Structure 1
Amino acid sequence: MNKSLIAMFTIAALSGCSSPQTEQADKTAPVTAEKTQHPSQGVYELYFTNATKFENSAQLLSQQITNKCLSDPQEAKAQWSETMQTWMYLQGGNINVPQADALTWKVQFWPDKKDTTGRQLKSVLSTNPDIGLPDLKNQSATLQGLTALEWLLYEPQLDQDRCSLATTVSASLVDTSVSYKQSLLTNPWKGLSQAQWEKQYLSLVSDKLDRMSKKLSLPLANLGNPRPYFAESCAHRSLITFIYRRVRELLHAENGLMTLLEAKDPRLSTLIASTLSDTIATWPKEDSLFESIQTKQGYKLALSQLNKIDQLKYLINEQAAQELGIVVGFNSTDGD
């Protein structure tokens, strides 16, 4: 009898120990994209994967700023650059997911034509650099994302106040990245018909191209009179290259434009792919747009790239859309 009781208590004790571990394992299990048979599945999984990368990168950035902002600022800056790269794959126009679309300005406030970010950050630094996260979230979107962190981190003399505020801003960015990913836990386009999806998909591509065009046209301004401070980022050297790659990912996604066109107009499909590849290959890998357009040669190169983007926009928005029987609507990416 005693042996039986001991056995029962042993089993109960072991069960009691294992249950929390099982629950914890369930909580930490990786969240995966919803599986559907919808033609948008390939593009949806691409967005979900990139949202996951952005979330992970934002968390690392917050850790680096919290631990190394003053002791090793280069590490924090390097992670800021990495996080900006992951955001490149998500930015540009609306994706017709209200929760995600509403968060984009909190991640990156650009174009910032009036230096709103700088003015508001200076105000907070002078009055309340140790602002708490709940209070920061009640402030303007300009104070809560990558644009604000660039302004805070890329200063010759980092001090305790800047690092304290950057720590809070990075925590806000983490929360935003989590919310962005959560908005994509289910495929937002699975209810669309084939025709509706093709129109939505081409709109996604078109918005990316519009974003690319704006990245160049705003700082280039008038011939011979560039505005380098209108460049998307003064600190990052290869943002244009990353959004080119994002467009290429979209075009070559499962059931993407290349697949749709291949059956109807393989010549046009090849032309679009080669034009995009040539544009990526000829973009300088070392010079930042901010620096290069201040020289005559750099300005000419950027202008040449802008012309190539316009060619891509024509091939996709006009020829490809006509081939597929789609009218691409206008989507503004400028909220300033």
Structure 2
Amino acid sequence: MDRFFAFVKKEFLHILRDQRTLLILFGLPFVQVLLFGFALTNEIKNATIAVLDNDHGAYSQQITNRLLSSGYFQLRENLRSYHDIEPAFRSGTVKMVVVFPARFTDDYAHGRQGQVQLLADASEQNTAISLTNYATAIIQGYAGEQIGQSGTLPMTVNVASRMVFNPDLKGAFVFVPGVMAMVLLLVSAMMTSVTIAREKETGTMDVLLVSPLNQGQILFGKVLPYLLLSFLNGCLIIALGVWLLGIPLNGSLPLLLAETLLFILLSLSLGLLISSLADSQLVAMFVSLVVLLMPTIFLSGFIFPIESMPRPLQLVSNIIPAKYFINIVKGVMIKGIGLRYLWKETAVLALMTIVLLGFTLKNLKPRLG
């Protein structure tokens, strides 16, 4: 046992002395969280809009001011007629047009309902949906304030929306769970596969195999430092998400940490399997990027909704581990649900871990034994 702990200590010292490895282990999560939390976001801010005010009354002006003061919109131009709308969209400088009909204020003053029309440039579908949702919520909020004053609804908008769990449509709520899955998968799997492949490539693995340590101790000693460091990475990302980006932690922290540890074990199993198949660092790096990075980004629901994908890709997404972990993180942190609702995702990750470890041991024994 003393030999094993000495071997683990040696692996830790090897990692700590390699500045490039430390940069990947601790710099990557920090940069990714900041990048996806602040820069790469699906939030819409300061979107350019145009206003066609055929009323020029007090209430149309109040609604316009409410929209512009929200931080989501900025006024690009005031249109003079309906004929100006299409050229404004064609120019690409306007994302949405707010149209107030004539006599809007007069209708409100006499207890009649008016209507505000929202026209969005649907060439960017997600942006159009977001903008109309933002504007609808702001206008309906203004209308609700007027009910208490007059007992009538001064305007109607033909869009009804309610954002559950993320009422402010914050992009961090979407990206941080995905970043957490991507970073843990890459750090755990890629670094492990490359490290062991390097030992095989340089021939030092043969030296380790003739040491007093058995094969299981060697492999466990190799992955244990990455297990602990990856778990530390997971805690770091959770802390950054909660304290820096304002993501709530509505569920159980112990459950979230346990699920994180399970996902790390799965990622390490993937790394060991890749290392058992790769004979060089280059091959291990290439396989890790192709097999892990690309599917995690595109097929896990991290960026693109799985429901919007073609049916064959939806089926492929079922074998992407990050898909289940992202659902778990969102469920625990944002929805506040527990294992009662997440047991299926947990069972899938556990089963994947067992299967991958089985394949890994089967491949390693004839190659290293």
TM-score bucket of the superposed structures, by smaller chain: under 0.3
TM-score if structure 1 supplies the norm length?
0.26
TM-score if structure 2 supplies the norm length?
0.25
User: Computing the radius of gyration over CA atoms, which structure comes out larger, 1 or 2?
Assistant: 2
Larger relative contact order, structure 1 or 2 (CA cutoff 8 Å, min sep 6): 1
Structure with higher strand content: 2
